[in-house]
Amino acid sequence: MRPELEPGRVAVVTGGARGIGLAVVEAVAARGVGVLCVDHPSADPGAVEQACAAAGVPFAFAAADVRDRDAVHAAVARAADLGPVAYAVNCAGVDGLLGAAAMPAEEWRRVVEVDLDGVMFACQAEHDLMAGRGGSIVNIASMSGHVVNRGVTHAAYSAAKAGVIHLGRALAVEWAPSGIRVNSVSPGYTMTAMTRTNAPEVNAAFAEQTPMGRLAEVEEVAEPVVFLLGSRASFVTGTDLLVDGGFTAW
């Protein structure tokens, strides 16, 4: 039987320095896949470097702000030095909680440029490395791209994440002839730096709104990502997988 992920291949992971991205790095590295982590120049590469060293896979860190198309292309291109690039997971993202009516243009742009433009630029660069040989891209969207979060003002974030889901469909159709599959995963509330700093009553309310009664652990998001990346999902493209403990079913 073919392995789920092919050892010796390389994955690009944006936003891999921490949170869901770091859990994705750990999951692919544990399967023998090398990692190029692309993250913001202010990110600490220590944990991701350690994870790849422990798994004994090739690793490099390339600093780039995903809002900068040229910087993202230059950073992602470095993955080819590690081996054949077959996988990419675009996790880099920011939250945005200002109310819509008074939101300044800069705040709208900050969120949309990181969460949507950044995914587009990364996908373009990853396409260039995969075209001809094929590959699999998973973008991290959010349940906020499907529903409006209760009690949270989230317009820019929700719009950007809905854009990520539909961008994935468009790229899937456009790049299917090149053998590149494109899908997204939409997590529900997940315990990371994004949520860990919330007041306890905020996370308690999130847990209460989730039929499974808790937030996800990052590994519970990373494993469905690996499924979509790998050979068990070989006929799956242009789809979004909700990993939300039932939040959007309620």
C-beta closer to ligand NAD: residue 44 or 235: 44
Bridge partners, 136 (sequence order)? 87, 181
The answer to whether the Cα torsion of 129, 24, 193, 191 is positive or negative is: positive
Instruction: Give the whole-angstrom CA distance, residue 37 versus residue 47.
Output: 11
Of 61, 87, 121, 157, the catalytic one is 157
Cβ atoms of 247 and 188 within 8 Å: the answer is: yes
3-state secondary structure of 16: coil
Q: Does 190 bind ligand NAD (CB under 6 A)?
A: yes
Site size for ligand NAD, by CB under 6 A?
Answer: 26
Q: Does 65 bind ligand NAD (CB under 6 A)?
A: yes
Shortest separation between residue 1's beta carbon and ligand NAD, angstroms: 31
Q: What is the DSSP letter of 182?
A: E
C-beta closer to ligand NAD: residue 83 or 248: 248
Binders of ligand NAD in range 70-89 (CB under 6 A): none
Classify burial at 20, counting beta carbons within 10 Å of its beta carbon; exposed 0-12, middle 13-18, buried 19 or more: buried
Q: Does 193 bind ligand NAD (CB under 6 A)?
A: yes
Residue 189 bears catalytic tag = no
Q: Does 107 bind ligand NAD (CB under 6 A)?
A: no
Side chain identity, residue 240: D
Q: Does 240 bind ligand NAD (CB under 6 A)?
A: no
Binders of ligand NAD in range 37-56 (CB under 6 A): 39-40, 43
Question: Which structure tokens are listed for 96?
Answer: 């945005």
Q: Does 17 bind ligand NAD (CB under 6 A)?
A: yes
Bridge partners, 63 (sequence order)? 39
User: Measured between alpha carbons, how far is residue 177 from residues 98, 110, 132, 180, 238 in Å?
Assistant: 41, 34, 10, 8, 13
C-beta closer to ligand NAD: residue 109 or 133: 109
Q: Does 169 bind ligand NAD (CB under 6 A)?
A: no
- Give the catalytic positions in this structure: 157
Residues that bind ligand NAD (CB under 6 A): 15, 17-21, 39-40, 43, 65-67, 91-94, 114, 140, 142, 187, 189-190, 192-195
